[in-house]
Amino acid sequence: MRSRRLGKALRQYREAAKLDQQHAADHIAGSKTKVSRIEAGLTTAKPGDVRLMLELYEVTEPTVVKHLEQLARDSNKRGWWMDHQLPDQLADLVTLEGDASYIRNWQPLFIPGLLQTPDYLRTLTRHSSLNVYTPEAEESFLKIKEERRRAINEKGAHFAAVIWEPALTAPMPSSEIHREQLNHIVDVAQKPNVTVQVLPLSEWKAAHMASHFVVYSYGPEPAPEAVAFDTPTSTVILENPDDVAKHVRIFEALRSSALTPDQSVDFIRTAMKGIPESEKEE
């Protein structure tokens, strides 16, 4: 993903400068094939080559130059998730999250992954009809989830979530876990880099514009670069600019239809009080 993002940026700057790949190859004393593979994300560019290319393309903004050079240095860096045996679809999502500076998440059915409590996650794994997880695998998932939270807790990535009301208010197997989960969302929503909005049940039309998805942005600007959504067996990642832009428009429409962040926190607090004691306990 890092190599693809770097290659995509370099290609865009080259095309904006109205130069072809041979111009870039000559400038870095390389081959046209090398430039093509760098732009396709198949080869990791060296920081020196990145600097020379940006010089040729007359890209001088220090923030941009520093960001792309660092991306080149980090392209082959081993991610923390490599120490865990992750399902392929989860590995893809974790890789996308690792460097993200802005994450937009729409969830109509579940609590967004970065907001889930350990007990909520345990409940999901124990009630899965497609996979049977061992206690060891379950605990591994919990450790992975804790690491994933660092994206917003320590790295300061901006996280914006829109959650459809049923995901918050539908009965859960345990009223205690239900209350704990909602309380956790309220706590996290107080962070300056986190925005949580509730889409009311009545906004049926908005809720059915798209199924769940996550939009990822990288670097100092919130420009979206990838969209991902998981299925029971895989993760679909979209990087085509038109596809990404369409999902961003849907997300903004959902935000417009949702309660404001303050109203959403009030709604969740009220929902906590309304959780019946009769919810089936585990």
Q: Which residues pair with 161 in a beta bridge?
A: 105, 196
Give Cα separations from 260 to 43, 182, 222, 255 (angstroms).
Answer: 44, 17, 20, 8
Q: List where CATH 3.30.870 sits in the chain.
A: 85-273
Residue 157's identity, in one-letter code, is A
Give Cα separations from 37 to 8, 32, 99, 128 (angstroms).
Answer: 11, 9, 22, 41
pLDDT band at 87 (very low <50, low <70, confident <90, very high): low
CA–CA separation, 229 vs 221, rounded Å? 22
Task: Give the number of other Cβ atoms within 10 Å of residue 146's Cβ.
Answer: 11
CA–CA separation, 13 vs 131, rounded Å? 45
Cβ atoms of 162 and 223 closer than 8 Å:
no
Alpha helices in 154-215 (DSSP H): 165-169, 175-188, 204-207
The kind and range of the H/E element at 105 are strand 102-107
CA–CA separation, 164 vs 175, rounded Å? 19
For 21-59, how does the pLDDT look when each residue is reduced to its tens digit (9 = 90+)?
A: 999 999 999 999 999 999 988 888 899 999 999 999 999
pLDDT at residue 220, as a whole number: 65
CATH for 2-74 (1.10.260.40, 1.10.10.10, 2.40.50.140, 1.10.3720.10): 1.10.260.40
For 256-275, how does the pLDDT look when each residue is reduced to its tens digit (9 = 90+)?
A: 999 999 999 999 999 999 99
CATH for 85-273 (3.30.43, 1.25.10, 3.30.870, 1.20.1440): 3.30.870
For 111-128, how does the pLDDT look when each residue is reduced to its tens digit (9 = 90+)?
A: 998 999 989 988 887 766
Q: List where CATH 1.10.260.40 sits in the chain.
A: 2-74
